[in-house]
């Protein structure tokens, strides 16, 4: 495919995907020529259908590199192909108008269209997401979702070196701010010319809807505050979450906690994550029903889950907000030394909540996951955080997505697990290689369970064991363990709420 053919196919792709109309063809060709720094074109009116986007973009990127207008590195390629796709992407007002028109008929039609639109513009990097390794593992808590994240680009050495000489930029203030919409990007900030957001009102405030460029599950969306303000779990959080599922009852939505270690990667901008997906935690049943004084008509209980979850159900979202606010207020200052839960040490707060909202079977539902970020000499990364013996699989923070039962594991595991399998099949010493040495104790413990396995069967066995490690990760992150002693401690907290 030559460059002119690629440009023609790209313009036909835009028409095929509903991003433009035939009358826009000349305009779009000229916009692409401008980005490609070309000044001539032969339009022979050839029509193309069923176009695959990635080969077209790869052709244009290769041509730009060969002509010296683009440096061949992942970051610069991303900046360039986003500029190309931005030329095809309709203006925000058009996108909002279409979304709102569909929403009036059916909220699901609106999000279906918006999700498809975000994939068509390549804002959602569909081809990269396909690279992620995904499987499910049966555990005592049900099936857990496991993914090895291969879709986010690796650190680019050329971009890192170039960024060192760049002056500090404060625009956009962070990766979530609405000022990212249409932004050209730079070597230390992604391009967003093909990014379009949907404004909305939640609990009387300006909020925005977008999708994640690297979706971890179906319709993985981000709901962020219109203004740049830090994460904070307050009663208002519960109002906003329930207001969102009232608007979009086919979606769940949740918030990361607002403290380091137990929070997400972005604490500087208040935001939620949601989507059209049923997580393992949502499928878990209530193990111990409980009643809260003054809220006897709410269905409540401790969920059968490795982390410490209170589930609240009611037909009236205001009742859930009031009850959740009371639980949050009590937990913020709650200390139980016998359970090693301390509200604060030396004035540093430790207790917070990871909340998740749904509309299910005619009722609003709030899951409140109790979190604590205390550290100890034995566990300097966090007592309720993956302990050191599990770091060979997962050492990063346990955020909202993991809390709900989907492991987001580092890309290094693709190579490490493949080489681990090679060593097992060939009887090699796992501790002899730096690729497998940190997995050696773990693997040597499970290898006897799978004598003689090779090939796909061994791959599946290793993946099962990875999933079981993730289950243990969640157990470490739970402040009340799934034991008789842990359950008694959990009920002590429930009783404390009822005493207030």
pLDDT digits (tens, 9 = 90+) for 484-496: 999 999 999 999 9
Mean pLDDT, residues 245-271:
92
User: For residue 291, what is the DSSP state?
Assistant: -
Q: Is the alpha carbon torsion for 91, 92, 93, 99 positive or negative? A: positive
Number of alpha carbons in the 13 Å side-chain half-sphere of residue 227:
3
Q: Is the predicted pLDDT of residue 152 greater than 80, yes or no?
A: no
Query: What was the pLDDT predicted at 264?
Result: 74
In eight-state DSSP terms, residue 137 is: E
For the residues 12-39, what does the mean pLDDT come to?
Answer: 94
Above 90 in pLDDT, residue 77?
Answer: yes
Q: What is the mean pLDDT of residues 105-117?
A: 97
Question: Is the model's pLDDT at 153 over the cut of 80?
Answer: no
Q: 225 has which bridge partners?
A: 207
What does the alpha-carbon distance between residue 37 and residue 35 come to, in Å, rounded to a whole number? 5
pLDDT band at 50, cuts 50/70/90? confident
pLDDT of residue 40: 87
95, β-bridge pairs: none
Looking at residue 47, its pLDDT comes to 80
| Amino acid 500: pLDDT | 83
Name the more confident of 336 and 150. Answer: 336
Question: What pLDDT is attached to residue 187?
Answer: 86
Burial code (b: 16+ CB inside 10 Å, e: under 16) for 24-56 equals bbeebbebbbebbebeeeeeeeeeeeebebeeb
Strand order in the sheet with 406-409: 133-139, 142-148, 406-409
What's the pLDDT score for residue 371?
97
At residue 258, does pLDDT exceed 80?
Answer: yes
pLDDT value, residue 44: 73
> Lowest mean pLDDT: which of 71-75, 179-183, 200-204?
71-75
3-state secondary structure of 30: helix
Helices assigned H by DSSP within 173-265: 235-247
Q: Can you give the pLDDT at residue 265? A: 76
Q: Evaluate if residue 166 carries a pLDDT over 70.
A: no
Q: Name every residue whose Cβ is closer than 8 Å to that of residue 413 and which is 6 or more positions away in sequence.
A: 148, 393, 466
Mean pLDDT of 282-311: 97
Indicate whether 155 pLDDT > 90.
no
> In whole angstroms, what is the distance from residue 107 CA to residue 99 CA?
9
Strand partners, 407: 146
Task: Assign 182 a pLDDT band (cuts: 50, 70, 90).
Answer: very high
Write the pLDDT tens digit of every residue in 401-445. Answer: 999 999 999 999 999 999 999 999 999 999 999 999 999 999 999
The pLDDT of 104-127, averaged and rounded, is: 96
What is the mean predicted confidence (pLDDT) over 253-269?
89
Question: Residues with Cβ < 8 Å from 253, sequence gap 6 or more?
Answer: 223, 241, 244, 245, 272, 273, 274, 356, 357
Chain position carrying tokens 């460059």: 3
Among residues 121, 62, 44, the alpha carbon closest in space to that of 90 is found at 121
Q: Is 249 exposed, middle or buried (0-12, 13-18, 19+ CB in 10 A)?
A: middle
What average pLDDT does the segment 167-194 reach? 89
Region for residue 204 given its phi and psi (left: phi exceeds 0; alpha: psi -120 to 50; beta: otherwise): left
């Amino acid at each position: 495919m030559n460059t002119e053919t690629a440009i023609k196919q790209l313009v036909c792709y835009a028409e095929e995907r509903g991003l433009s109309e035939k009358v826009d063809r000349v305009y779009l060709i000229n916009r692409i020529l401008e980005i490609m720094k070309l000044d001539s074109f032969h339009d022979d009116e050839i029509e193309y259908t069923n176009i695959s986007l990635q080969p077209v973009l790869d052709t244009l990127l290769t041509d730009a590199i060969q002509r010296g207008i683009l440096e061949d590195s992942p970051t610069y390629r991303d900046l360039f192909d986003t500029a190309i796709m931005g030329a095809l992407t309709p203006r925000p007002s058009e996108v909002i108008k279409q979304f709102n028109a569909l929403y009036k008929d059916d909220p699901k039609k609106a999000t279906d269209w918006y999700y498809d639109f975000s994939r068509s513009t390549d804002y959602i990097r569909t081809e990269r997401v396909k690279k992620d390794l995904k499987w499910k593992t049966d555990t005592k808590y049900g099936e857990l979702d496991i993914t090895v994240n291969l879709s986010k680009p690796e650190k680019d050495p050329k971009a890192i070196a170039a960024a060192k000489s760049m002056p500090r930029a404060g625009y956009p203030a962070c990766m979530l701010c609405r000022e990212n919409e249409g932004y050209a990007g730079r070597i230390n900030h992604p391009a967003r010319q093909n990014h379009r957001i949907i404004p909305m009102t939640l609990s009387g405030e300006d909020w925005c809807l977008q999708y994640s460029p690297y979706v971890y599950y179906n319709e993985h969306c981000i709901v962020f505050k219109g203004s740049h303000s830090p994460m904070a779990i307050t009663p208002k959080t519960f109002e906003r979450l329930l207001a969102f599922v009232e608007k979009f009852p086919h979606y769940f939505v949740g918030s990361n906690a607002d403290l380091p270690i137990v929070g997400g990667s972005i604490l500087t901008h208040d935001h939620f994550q949601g989507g059209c997906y049923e997580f393992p935690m949502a499928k878990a049943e209530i193990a111990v029903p409980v009643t809260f004084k003054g809220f006897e008509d709410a269905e409540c209980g401790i969920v059968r889950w490795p982390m410490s979850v209170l589930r609240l159900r009611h037909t009236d979202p205001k009742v859930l907000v009031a009850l959740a606010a009371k639980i949050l207020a009590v937990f913020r200052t709650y200390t139980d030394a016998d359970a090693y839960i301390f509200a604060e040490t030396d004035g540093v707060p430790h207790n917070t909540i990871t909340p998740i909202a749904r509309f299910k079977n005619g009722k609003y539902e709030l899951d409140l996951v109790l979190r604590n970020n205390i550290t100890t000499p034995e566990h300097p990364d966090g007592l309720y955080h993956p302990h050191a013996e599990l770091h060979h699989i997962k050492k990063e923070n346990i955020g909202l997505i993991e809390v709900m039962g989907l492991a987001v594991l580092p890309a290094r595991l693709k190579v490490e697990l493949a080489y681990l399998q090679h060593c097992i099949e060939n009887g090699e010493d796992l501790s002899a290689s730096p690729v497998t040495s940190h997995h050696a104790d773990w693997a040597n413990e499970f290898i006897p369970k799978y004598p003689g396995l090779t090939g796909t069967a061994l791959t599946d066995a290793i993946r099962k064991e990875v999933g079981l490690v993730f289950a243990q990760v969640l157990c470490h992150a739970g402040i009340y363990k799934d034991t008789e002693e842990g359950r008694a401690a959990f009920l002590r907290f429930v009783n404390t709420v009822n005493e207030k």
